[in-house]
Amino acid sequence: MATCEENEALSSVLNQVPPLLTDLYQFTMAYAYWRAGRHNEPAVFELFFRDNPFGGGFSLFAGLSDCLLFLQNFTFSDDDVEYLRSVLPAGTDDAFFSYLRELDCSSVSVSAVPEGSVVFARVPLLEVSGPLAVVQLLETSLLCLVNYASLVCSNAARFRLAAGPTRRLMEMGLRRAQGPNGGLTASRYTYIGGFDLTSNALAGRLFGIPVAGTMAHSYVTSFSSLEEVWPQTLAPCGGGGDPIDFICLVKGWLGRVCQLLGSKTNLVREGELAAFLSYAIAYPQNFLPVIDSYSVSCSGLPCFCAVALALCELQYRPLGVRLDSGDLCRQSLEVRRIFKECSKQFSVPQFESLIIVGTNSISEQSLAELNKKDNEIDVVGVGTHLVTCTRQPSLGCVYKLIEVRGRPRMKISEDPEKSTLPGRKSVYRLLDTDGHPQMDLICLSEEPAPKAGVPLNYFPLGLNKAVQTVTPVQVTSLRLDVFTCGQITFPLNSASESRERAQISLQTLHPHHKRLQEPHDYTVALSERLHTLVSDITKGNSKGSNFLLSN
């Protein structure tokens, strides 16, 4: 469970989600309900998305904690109400604004899939019930909080799958996100989706995500001469010895390294050497420079080896290098080869465990290719393609009315994909004999739960699919009550708790559903009773959407 401090921090950041951050039409609709005396009618909405993102077979659900904190704090200030008074049409009854001023979510309840769960298209992830006008007003903000969180979390999970299980992944997309909050959201939810580290310091502070980073090219290019290195000495690790002239020590190593590599010391950039020296003197136990500011082979790599060998001589452990341009695989192989040669030639076993970080416009595809090709990259940093979700920058979640005053509601579109599923529902996940999820079954909430070992009929979602039968081996209920009459009733998960759930949830998923390309379709199905209700309403046989019989 999240710590108190974390919740407070989270909550203070999320106080940035004022209830006015919504579409104006929520207020015009709320007024029309209020004017008709319908605002307190019990109503139910559900939130879902229509297609799994990125051409994949699954998604991860995220954003729930943000939603719950938003609901808990949902009230309009006097200023909000005055603004609304100024933009709603003239003639809006004054009493409506008093009503808005008093509103909160104390009559709202929510059931939801836990954050970090593997989910599928068309399955209702969030069911929001309460007074019609209030649950309508919540629409845009809830969509905004779930949409991007789930999308970027799912994107991160795909990068994780593409990278293989052992390579470490670092998120570094803050500068390319949709503004400050976009960047913070990205750091949180890519961590939940399976990343290991972030460059974002505030995300580290707020969410407890491990942070990392050492230097940019600007640090390297800010140096031009060895005269800028200060102090010029470094004491051996442990503090037991006198400070050594570190520049002199490194120069000695540089000669030997260049000899070993067959490279020329006069192609080494003095500024790059100065930058590495200076950084190593400041952080002798955290030496991981970016080595491509000029030329990796002529300058960056010889400079790194010289400084790192000098550090080793003083009993420090250099960490490794970062490559940020060019062919990362080829370069990493070359860099590793040199590390091994140094290790052998100079008897420095520390050089066997140096890490190589690669960061150059990594996409899911380039990561998957990198994973297939020979390379020596231990840590991959990903920015733009991860946080902007280049391949599909929106999940397209929707929030649809499914019941009013106990009567199922349905939107019947001329575009069948845009039709909705009426009525309150329960969602069950059926597992196969190996414990893999095999189907999500959507039932009406008044139906009894499916039982393990008992055959049941179902209608797979999709165009005109016929009835089929399955005997589930194990049945779990997908959603939990998380918010009841204004109170959060489910522990707010910390980022690392949700991350753990995501890992477990992904592990149980069958590999053919996890494939990044052409995954098997996962079955999402309706119970017979729900299927019948849909048919009845579509044909106009139900109270759901009467035709006008007489006028």
Contacts to its own copies from residues 360-389, by CB under 8 A:
384, 387-389
- Say whether 67 sits in a helix, a strand or coil: helix
Give least dist CB 64 to its own copies, A. 14
The residue within the footprint of its own copies, chosen from 273, 338, 370, 421 (CB under 8 A), is 273
Between CA 13 and CA 388 the distance in angstroms is 21
Neighbours of 543 (CB within 10 A): 9
Between CA 209 and CA 197 the distance in angstroms is 7
Q: Strands (DSSP E) along 383-455, which ranges?
A: 397-404, 407-408, 425-431, 437-444
Please report, as residue ranges, which positions from 251 to 270 form the binding site for its own copies (by CB under 8 A): 251, 254-255, 265-270
Please report, as residue ranges, which positions from 163 to 182 form the binding site for its own copies (by CB under 8 A): 172, 174-182
Nearer to its own copies, 66 or 440 (CB): 66
The residue within the footprint of its own copies, chosen from 48, 49, 74, 148 (CB under 8 A), is 148
Please report, as residue ranges, which positions from 192 to 251 form the binding site for its own copies (by CB under 8 A): 199-202, 204-205, 211-222, 224-225, 228-231, 251
The residue within the footprint of its own copies, chosen from 42, 294, 343, 496 (CB under 8 A), is 294
Neighbours of 155 (CB within 10 A): 31
Please report, as residue ranges, which positions from 527 to 546 form the binding site for its own copies (by CB under 8 A): 543-546
Between CA 198 and CA 209 the distance in angstroms is 7
Going by C-alpha positions, the residue among 334, 333, 339 that lies closest to residue 353 is: 339
The residue within the footprint of its own copies, chosen from 75, 394, 487, 535 (CB under 8 A), is 394
Between CA 33 and CA 92 the distance in angstroms is 12
Give the CA count within 13 Å in the CB-facing half-sphere of 300: 22
Going by C-alpha positions, the residue among 424, 459, 455, 423 that lies closest to residue 441 is: 459
Could you say whether residue 412 binds its own copies (CB under 8 A)?
Answer: yes
- Asked if 62 and 49 touch (Cβ cutoff 8 Å), the reply is no
Could you say whether residue 6 binds its own copies (CB under 8 A)?
Answer: no
CB under 8 A: which stretch of 336-344, 402-410, 433-441, 470-478 binds its own copies? Answer: 402-410
* Tokens found for residue 430: 């059926």
Neighbours of 40 (CB within 10 A): 14
Nearer to its own copies, 468 or 535 (CB): 535
The residue within the footprint of its own copies, chosen from 400, 479, 499, 514 (CB under 8 A), is 400
Tell me, residue by residue from 302 to 331, as one string, x for binding to its own copies by CB under 8 A and - for no binding. Answer: -----------------------xx-----
Q: CA 124 → CA 113, 161, 303, 443, distances in Å? A: 9, 25, 57, 11
**Which burial class, exposed, middle or buried, applies to 36 when counting CB atoms under 10 A from its CB (0-12, 13-18, 19+)?**
exposed
Neighbours of 399 (CB within 10 A): 18
Nearer to its own copies, 130 or 437 (CB): 130
Helix locations, 283-327, DSSP H: 301-313
Nearer to its own copies, 214 or 503 (CB): 214
List phi, psi (to 5°) of 322. -120, 135
Nearer to its own copies, 265 or 474 (CB): 265
Nearer to its own copies, 155 or 350 (CB): 155
DSSP per residue, 344-361? HHHT-GGGGG-EEEE-SS
Could you say whether residue 401 binds its own copies (CB under 8 A)?
Answer: yes
CB under 8 A: which stretch of 18-26, 348-356, 367-375, 455-463 binds its own copies? Answer: 18-26
Please report, as residue ranges, which positions from 24 to 43 form the binding site for its own copies (by CB under 8 A): 24-29, 31-33, 35-38, 43
Nearer to its own copies, 14 or 439 (CB): 14
Give least dist CB 133 to its own copies, A. 10
Please report, as residue ranges, which positions from 80 to 109 form the binding site for its own copies (by CB under 8 A): 80, 83-84, 87, 89-92
Give least dist CB 534 to its own copies, A. 14
Nearer to its own copies, 247 or 354 (CB): 247
The residue within the footprint of its own copies, chosen from 192, 342, 354, 397 (CB under 8 A), is 397
Q: CA 256 → CA 277, 303, 430, distances in Å? A: 17, 11, 65
Between CA 119 and CA 519 the distance in angstroms is 14
- Asked if 354 and 247 touch (Cβ cutoff 8 Å), the reply is no
Count the residues of the shown chain that bind its own copies, applying the rule CB under 8 A: 139
Between CA 130 and CA 306 the distance in angstroms is 68
The residue within the footprint of its own copies, chosen from 50, 337, 372, 418 (CB under 8 A), is 418
Please report, as residue ranges, which positions from 128 to 147 form the binding site for its own copies (by CB under 8 A): 132, 136, 139-141, 143-145, 147
Between CA 363 and CA 413 the distance in angstroms is 37
Give least dist CB 194 to its own copies, A. 19
Give least dist CB 41 to its own copies, A. 8
Give least dist CB 460 to its own copies, A. 24
- Asked if 379 and 322 touch (Cβ cutoff 8 Å), the reply is no
CB under 8 A: which stretch of 16-24, 307-315, 454-462, 471-479 binds its own copies? Answer: 16-24
Tell me, residue by residue from 48 to 87, as one string, x for binding to its own copies by CB under 8 A and - for no binding. Answer: -------------------------------xx--xx--x
The kind and range of the H/E element at 299 are none
